[in-house]
Amino acid sequence: MLTTLQMRNAVRAIVLPVTIAACDRSPTSVGASVSSLQQDAPPVTVRELHHRSYDDVMAEVDSASPGFAGAFIDETGTLVVRDVRQVSNGEDRANQLASALSSRLLTNVAAGRKVRRESADFSFAQLRDWLRALMRVRLPSDVATFDIDERRNRLVVGLTSMSAIPAMEAAVKSAGVPLHALVLEKAPRTTLLQAGAFPNDTSLRHPVRPLMGGVKIDVEAVGTSGGPCTAGFTLTVGGVPSFVTASHCTTNYASYDNGRIRQPGQLFYFGTIFDFFIGRESVDVPHQWGLGDGHCPYSAVGCRWSDAAVIGVDPGIPVSVGRIARASQTNGSMVLGGYPPSVLLAQNSGHWRVLGREELFPPLPGAPVMKIGAATDQTTGAISRACIYEVRDPSAPMEQKWLLCQFEVTGPAYCGDSGGPVVGVLSSQSGTVALLGIAYSGIEGSACNGSPFIGYRYSPITGVIADLYNAYTPWSHVAP
């Protein structure tokens, strides 16, 4: 168990298998048990300590190019930029907005795409400011989500009960937000992607050595949370090989508990699979109040940027940093049934290599993504909503704990996928991906009874860093 000082130093030295800009590609060593696969893992750079949400970045684009109202990728792959200004040359204006967007996202978002301008009623900064105004007033307990919808150009509020509309409209008026800028709608039902039993024998349910992201894990002693889940992405924390998974997959959600994590073994005795101990929770944080100006709602008990925790791996377990297991097949739609286990997972052809984050694959609404989960192998989908503010448990209105700026994907998921990495595929042929975040909850569906969810939510990697990298530093360092 790490001392407090060691933990503090470990968090400050958190290393992610990603690059932010051009950087040295020299080999990275993380201990004597490191396999040859680790030797060529890309080096790590952590972005600035001050966290900016996706909405903050979009508001910066509006500041640089006034009138910008958001962007998304449509069904044809066209980059659509919204604009409140009246212009005579729409094509020039579209290119101007795309350029401003690219400069803030650190990559050319229009590369290889057509760009189309669409008119809008409200700028992104207006919608962001109105969202923050709503955060500063007392909200009805039936509020489940907030979201700036780029396609509808409105601030969307999800309610657990439509009977709360009068109370919500009163809150909107008290905040000085125009009602015509809002859409009030029924919030979809969400379920944490944990499993009591897996629906099928997926290739990622079996042990992989060296340990990498995307494979099945389980909490050793179930407390207030826990259950079969998925290892997210591997990293080193203060020189200790580790991986990130969902916080609710540990013994206690949003609480450091040093809980033990295990993985399925290969030994069979009268039909029993013996599990292996692989590590302990090393970094987790509680919900905090006041994560930057206007981010945490006034009515919230506390907030986090992610449902994530770090697991320190046992010294006897080899870890492949910067690698995610590549399942035996990719499913555009999940069909429940037996998948043969893959025997190639631990070989060079059986993993994805993480090259970067959003600077290589901007997470705009409409962008195609892939989730690797122990319950569903690999599934494809598209980002449907960006930067959702959600109450983690709408059934407990008196204990509103919020997750800030989460992302939603239209695509299959199932219980057991919690903690699984969500990536943008850079090259299927070379097996390279950009790490976008980790999955934690399913949308609609039938709550782990055999039917897949129609979508899922994930915590973005920037939110994971904001929570865990700052775990033992003052929260005042997190800027709006």
In a domain, 252, yes or no: yes
Residues 42, 62, single domain; the answer is no
User: Are 257 and 235 a contacting pair, CB within 8 Å?
Assistant: no
In a domain, 28, yes or no: no
Residues 436, 299, single domain; the answer is yes
Give the pLDDT score at 196. Answer: 56
Give the pLDDT score at 37. Answer: 27
93: which DSSP letter?
H
Q: Which domain holds residue 141?
A: 51-187
User: Are 444 and 455 a contacting pair, CB within 8 Å?
Assistant: yes
Residues 162, 231, single domain; the answer is no
Residues 79, 171, single domain; the answer is yes
Residues 128, 247, single domain; the answer is no
Give the pLDDT score at 106. Answer: 82
In a domain, 231, yes or no: yes
Residues 196, 171, single domain; the answer is no
Upper half-sphere CA count for residue 442 (Cβ side, 13 Å): 25
Tokens representing 145 are 């989500």
In a domain, 29, yes or no: no
38: which DSSP letter?
H
User: Are 42 and 25 a contacting pair, CB within 8 Å?
Assistant: yes
Residues 268, 293, single domain; the answer is yes
Residues 311, 168, single domain; the answer is no
In a domain, 217, yes or no: yes
Give the pLDDT score at 11. Answer: 38
Residues sharing a CB contact under 8 Å with residue 353, sequence separation 6 or more, in sequence order: 42, 322, 323, 430, 431, 432, 433
Residues 359, 443, single domain; the answer is yes
In a domain, 251, yes or no: yes
List Cα–Cα distances, 426 to 62, 101, 215, 452, in angstroms. 28, 20, 21, 27
- Backbone dihedral region of 411: left (phi > 0), alpha (psi from -120 to 50 degrees) or beta? left
- β-bridge pairing 154-159 and 182-186: parallel
Task: Tell me which amino acid residue 419 is.
Answer: G
Give the pLDDT score at 340. Answer: 29
In a domain, 26, yes or no: no
From 157, 187, 217, the end of a domain falls on: 187
From 167, 187, 207, the end of a domain falls on: 187
Give the pLDDT score at 207. Answer: 67
From 170, 187, 204, the end of a domain falls on: 187
To which H or E segment does residue 12 belong?
helix 4-12
Residues sharing a CB contact under 8 Å with residue 22, sequence separation 6 or more, in sequence order: none
- Please give the Cα distance from 195 to 188 (Å, whole number): 20
Question: 234 forms bridges with which residues in the sheet?
Answer: 243
440-471 burial, b if ≥16 CB within 10 A, otherwise e? bbbbebeebeeebbebbbbbbbbbbbbbbbbb
- Please give the Cα distance from 135 to 199 (Å, whole number): 40
> Domain with 163 in it: what CATH number?
3.30.300.50
Per-run averaged pLDDT (10 residues), the chain, 480 residues: 41 38 27 29 35 90 96 97 89 95 90 95 97 91 94 96 95 96 92 67 67 87 64 85 92 89 62 70 85 73 92 90 76 32 37 83 94 89 96 68 94 92 90 93 76 91 84 31
Give the pLDDT score at 221. Answer: 60
Residues 314, 451, single domain; the answer is yes
Question: In terms of pTM, does the model score above 0.85?
Answer: no
How many domains, the chain? 2
Residues 417, 399, single domain; the answer is yes
In a domain, 12, yes or no: no
Residues 365, 247, single domain; the answer is yes
